[in-house]
C-alpha cells in the first residue's frame, strides 16, 4: 500500500514541535508493515540546504500562486521525500510559519494553499508512474489538499486527516477564497466556509474519508464545547469517522543506551549512570548540586502547556525541596516571568530560553522528573520520552497525558504499576500537590527506582499504533 503523507514539518529536516517527530517517525514504523510512505513537505531553507545538488524535478509549475515551483524527489535519512521547491513562498529567513520574531507570515494562507494544491496534484497522479492509495494530511497547513481533491478529482484516493492540535485551524478572511482556485460552491457550510471566512482545517475535516487525532481521550474531548474550539459540532456529526490513535516515539532517536546527546549512557539496569547527566544539567542550568529531586520542563512556553500555571508556582515548588531546570521558548512575557523566577531562586531554578534538541535529550536523561501541566494535550511526546529515559512524568490528567501515564496512587504503587503522577484540575494547587507526592516517593529508595523502571518498560514505540493506522488505511481503501 502506498501513502502520500503531507505535512509542514518533518524531523530531522524542519521541526517546531511534536508534529515533526510524528511525521518523521511514522513512515519507518509503517514500512515494517508493508506500507510505503512518500512525505511531501515545503522547501524551507533548512530543507533545501539538505538537498543533493541534482535533486530530480518530478513535476514543475510555471506559475504556482505567483511564482515558479518544482516538486523534487529525494531520499534523506531513510525518508522518501517530495519537496515543494517554491522560493517565492518558502525561501525566506525566519521560521516555518513566521519571521524571526515569531510573527506569522501574512501570506501563510497562500503558502499552504499552494503546498496543498501541489500535494493534491501529486495525489491525482502528477508524478509519472506513482499514485498513492491513500492521502494522509497533517494539521491545517496540509488540510486544503483534501478540499482540492474533493472538488477537483472524481477519482481522488481516499484520505485521512490527523489533528495534532485543534488550537491551530488556519482561519482566514473570506476575501482569499477567490484566489484559492476552488469552485464557487465550495464556499458553503459543508465546504471550506468557517464562521464567515475560510477555514483550512475545517475544510479538511469536512472532506476527509477518516479523521484521526493523536490519543483516544483527546478524540473524546474535542467533541465537547470545552475542547472543541468551535469544531465540536462538525466533529460530532462526523463521530463515526473520528478515531484516536496514540502517538509513539522514535525509539532509535530516543534511546538512553545510545544517545550521543547524553554525558553518560545507561539502561534500565544501570540507572546510576544517570547521575553524570544530572550533574551536567546542574552545571548547565546553574543549579546547586544536591541530593533532592531535580525536575525539568521541556516545552513551548504557551498557555496550552500551562506554563503560566507553572510560573506562578515556582516559589512553592522550590519550598517543597525541588530544583527545576526549564528549557523553553515561546511567549516572551512568560520567558520574562520564568527568568525573574530563576533570578529569585538562584541555584534552585534555572532557565534556558531557546530551542535546543540536544539539551532536551540531556534533560530527559538526567532529571528525576519532567513537569507537564498542560491545559489540553492532544497526545504529548515529552512524557513518552520521559518514560523511556526514567525521567518520571508529572502530568495534568488530560488528553494523551491521561492515556499514557499510570498515576502513583496507593493501589498503583502497591501493585508496582505506577509510572508517574497525574493531577487534576489543571491548577497551581493540584500541580504543587503532585510535586509534594513526588517528593514523598522520591524519598523512598525502593519505590522510586521501581517507578522509573516500570516507566522504562512501557511500550512507547510506534509498533501498536502503526498497526492501527494500517487498519484504518485498509478500511477506507476497501
Ligand atoms: N525548547 C525546546 N527545545 C528542544 N525541544 C523542544 C523544546 N520545546 C519543545 N521541544 C520538543 O518538541 C516536541 C514537542 O512535542 P509535544 O508533544 O509537546 O508537541 P506539540 O505541542 O508541539 O505538538 C502537538 O502535536 C504533537 C504530535 O502529535 C502532540 O503530541 C501534542 O500533544 C500536540 O500539542 C518534543 O519533541 C519536545 O522535546
Give the ligand 1 atom nearest the CA of 21.
36
Give the ligand 1 atom nearest the CA of 328.
1
Q: Among residues 255, 257, 290, 262, which one has the least CA distance to residue 277?
A: 262
Distance CA 29, CA 25 (A): 7
DSSP labels for 118-153?
HHHHHHTT-STT---SEEEEEHHHHHHHHHHHHHH-
Q: What is the widest separation between alpha-carbon atoms in the chain?
A: 68
Our answer on whether the CB atom of 214 is closer than 6 Å to any ligand 1 atom is: yes
For a pocket test of ligand 1, which of 18, 248, 338 has the largest count of ligand atoms closer than 8 A to its C-beta? 18
pTM value is: 0.96
Give yes or no for a contact between 311 and 337, defined as CB atoms under 8 angstroms apart. Answer: yes
Question: Which residue is closest in CA terms to ligand 1's atom 3?
Answer: 355
Cell numbers of 13, please? 529536516
For a pocket test of ligand 1, which of 138, 163, 300, 391 has the largest count of ligand atoms closer than 8 A to its C-beta? 300
Tens of pLDDT along 186-210?
999 999 999 999 999 999 999 999 9
Tens of pLDDT along 55-103?
999 999 999 999 999 999 999 999 999 999 999 999 999 999 999 888 9
298 alpha-carbon distance from chain centroid: 13
Query: Strands 2-6 and 134-138, how do they pair?
Result: parallel
| Ligand 1 centroid – CA 115 distance (Å) | 23
Our answer on whether the CB atom of 303 is closer than 6 Å to any ligand 1 atom is: no
* Three-state DSSP class for residue 109: helix
> Taking 80 as the threshold, does the pLDDT of residue 174 lie above it?
yes
| Ligand 1 centroid – CA 83 distance (Å) | 23
Sheet holding 210-213, edge to edge: 56-61, 69-76, 79-85, 36-42, 2-6, 134-138, 159-163, 210-213, 242-244
Segment 230-256 shows an average pLDDT of 97
Residue 211 pLDDT level (bands cut at 50, 70, 90): very high
Distance CA 136, CA 36 (A): 12
The pLDDT of residue 102:
85
Our answer on whether the CB atom of 299 is closer than 6 Å to any ligand 1 atom is: yes
Beta bridge partners of 423: 396
Question: Which residue is closest in CA terms to ligand 1's atom 37?
Answer: 382
Residue 54 pLDDT level (bands cut at 50, 70, 90): confident
Our answer on whether the CB atom of 26 is closer than 6 Å to any ligand 1 atom is: no
Question: 471: how many CB neighbours lie within 10 A of its CB?
Answer: 12
Our answer on whether the CB atom of 355 is closer than 6 Å to any ligand 1 atom is: yes
The CATH code for residues 2-248+462-477 is 3.40.50.2000
For a pocket test of ligand 1, which of 17, 137, 360 has the largest count of ligand atoms closer than 8 A to its C-beta? 17
Our answer on whether the CB atom of 375 is closer than 6 Å to any ligand 1 atom is: no
Give the ligand 1 atom nearest the CA of 218.
32
The pLDDT of residue 53:
87
Distance CA 432, CA 163 (A): 31
Distance from the first to the final alpha carbon of the chain: 12
Give the mean pLDDT of the chain.
97
The matching CATH number, chosen from 3.40.50.2000, 3.10.129.10, 3.40.50.1580, 2.40.170.20, for 271-457 is: 3.40.50.2000
> Taking 80 as the threshold, does the pLDDT of residue 369 lie above it?
yes
> Taking 80 as the threshold, does the pLDDT of residue 153 lie above it?
no
Our answer on whether the CB atom of 163 is closer than 6 Å to any ligand 1 atom is: no
Our answer on whether the CB atom of 365 is closer than 6 Å to any ligand 1 atom is: no
Tens of pLDDT along 243-254?
999 999 999 999
The pLDDT of residue 154:
80
Residue 478 pLDDT level (bands cut at 50, 70, 90): confident
Tens of pLDDT along 391-410?
999 999 999 999 999 999 99
DSSP 224: S
Question: Which residue is closest in CA terms to ligand 1's atom 11?
Answer: 17
Give the ligand 1 atom nearest the CA of 381.
17
Segment 323-332 shows an average pLDDT of 96
The CATH 3.40.50.2000 domain(s) of the chain lie at 2-248+462-477, 271-457
Give yes or no for a contact between 225 and 3, defined as CB atoms under 8 angstroms apart. Answer: no
Q: How far is CA 14 from CA 51, 93, 167, 472, in A?
A: 13, 13, 21, 27
Q: Among residues 275, 400, 282, which one has the least CA distance to residue 348?
A: 282
Residue 358 pLDDT level (bands cut at 50, 70, 90): very high
15 marked as binding residue: yes
| Ligand 1 centroid – CA 61 distance (Å) | 34
Q: Among residues 118, 116, 96, 97, which one has the least CA distance to residue 47?
A: 96
Q: Among residues 266, 271, 326, which one has the least CA distance to residue 294?
A: 326
Our answer on whether the CB atom of 298 is closer than 6 Å to any ligand 1 atom is: yes
Distance CA 210, CA 205 (A): 8
ipTM: 0.99
Contacts 24+ apart (CB under 8 A), 351-358: 351/285, 351/326, 352/284, 352/285, 352/325, 352/326, 352/327, 353/328, 353/329, 354/327, 354/329, 355/329, 356/327, 357/15, 357/261, 358/261
Amino acid at each position: 500500500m502506498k501513502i502520500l503523507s503531507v505535512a509542514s514539518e518533518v524531523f530531522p529536516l524542519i521541526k517546531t514541535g511534536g508534529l515533526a517527530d510524528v511525521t518523521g517517525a511514522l513512515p519507518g514504523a509503517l514500512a515494517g508493515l508493508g506500507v510505503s510512505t512518500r512525505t511531501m513537505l515545503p522547501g524551507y531553507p533548512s530543507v533545501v540546504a539538505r538537498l543533493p545538488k541534482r535533486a530530480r524535478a518530478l513535476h514543475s509549475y510555471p506559475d504556482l500562486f505567483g511564482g515558479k515551483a518544482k516538486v523534487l524527489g529525494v531520499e534523506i535519512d531513510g525518508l522518501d521525500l517530495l519537496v515543494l521547491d517554491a522560493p517565492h513562498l518558502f525561501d525566506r529567513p525566519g521560521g516555518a510559519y513566521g519571521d524571526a520574531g515569531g510573527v506569522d507570515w501574512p501570506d501563510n494562507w497562500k503558502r499552504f494553499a499552494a503546498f496543498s494544491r501541489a500535494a493534491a496534484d501529486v495525489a491525482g497522479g502528477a508524478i509519472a508512474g506513482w499514485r498513492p492509495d491513500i492521502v494522509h494530511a497533517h494539521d491545517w497547513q496540509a488540510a486544503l489538499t483534501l478540499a482540492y481533491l474533493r472538488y477537483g478529482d472524481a477519482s481522488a484516493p481516499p484520505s485521512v486527516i490527523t489533528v495534532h492540535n485543534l488550537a491551530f485551524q488556519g482561519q482566514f478572511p473570506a476575501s482569499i477564497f477567490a484566489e484559492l482556485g476552488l469552485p464557487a460552491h465550495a464556499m458553503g457550510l459543508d465546504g471550506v466556509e468557517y464562521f464567515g471566512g475560510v477555514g483550512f482545517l475545517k475544510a479538511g475535516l469536512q472532506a476527509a474519508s477518516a479523521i484521526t487525532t493523536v490519543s483516544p481521550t483527546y478524540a473524546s474531548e474535542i467533541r465537547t464545547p470545552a475542547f472543541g474550539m468551535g469544531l465540536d459540532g462538525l466533529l460530532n456529526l462526523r463521530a463515526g469517522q473520528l478515531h484516536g490513535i496514540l502517538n509513539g516515539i522514535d525509539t532509535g532517536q530516543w534511546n538512553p543506551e545510545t544517545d550521543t546527546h547524553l554525558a553518560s549512557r545507561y539502561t534500565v539496569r544501570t540507572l546510576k549512570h544517570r547521575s553524570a547527566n544530572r550533574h551536567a544539567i546542574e552545571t548547565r542550568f546553574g543549579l546547586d548540586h544536591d541530593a533532592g529531586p531535580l525536575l525539568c520542563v521541556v516545552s513551548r512556553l504557551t498557555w496550552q502547556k500551562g506554563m503560566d500555571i507553572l510560573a506562578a508556582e515556582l516559589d512553592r515548588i522550590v519550598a517543597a525541596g525541588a530544583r527545576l531546570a526549564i528549557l523553553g521558548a515561546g511567549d516572551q512575557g512568560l520567558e520574562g516571568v520564568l527568568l525573574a523566577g530563576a533570578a529569585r531562586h538562584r541555584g534552585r531554578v534555572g532557565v534556558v530560553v531557546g530551542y535546543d534538541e540536544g539539551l532536551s535529550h540531556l534533560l530527559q536523561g538526567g532529571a528525576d522528573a519532567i513537569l507537564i501541566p498542560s491545559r489540553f494535550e492532544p497526545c504529548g511526546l515529552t512524557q513518552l520520552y520521559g518514560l523511556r529515559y526514567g525521567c518520571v512524568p508529572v502530568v495534568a490528567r488530560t488528553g494523551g497525558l491521561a492515556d499514557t501515564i499510570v498515576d502513583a496512587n496507593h493501589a498503583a504503587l502497591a501493585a508496582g504499576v505506577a509510572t508517574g503522577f497525574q493531577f487534576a484540575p489543571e491548577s497551581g494547587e493540584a500541580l504543587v500537590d503532585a510535586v509534594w507526592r513526588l517528593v514523598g516517593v522520591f524519598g523512598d529508595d525502593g519505590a522510586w527506582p521501581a517507578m522509573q523502571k516500570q516507566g522504562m518498560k512501557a511500550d512507547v514505540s510506534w509498533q501498536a499504533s502503526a498497526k492501527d493506522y494500517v487498519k484504518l488505511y485498509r478500511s477506507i481503501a476497501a
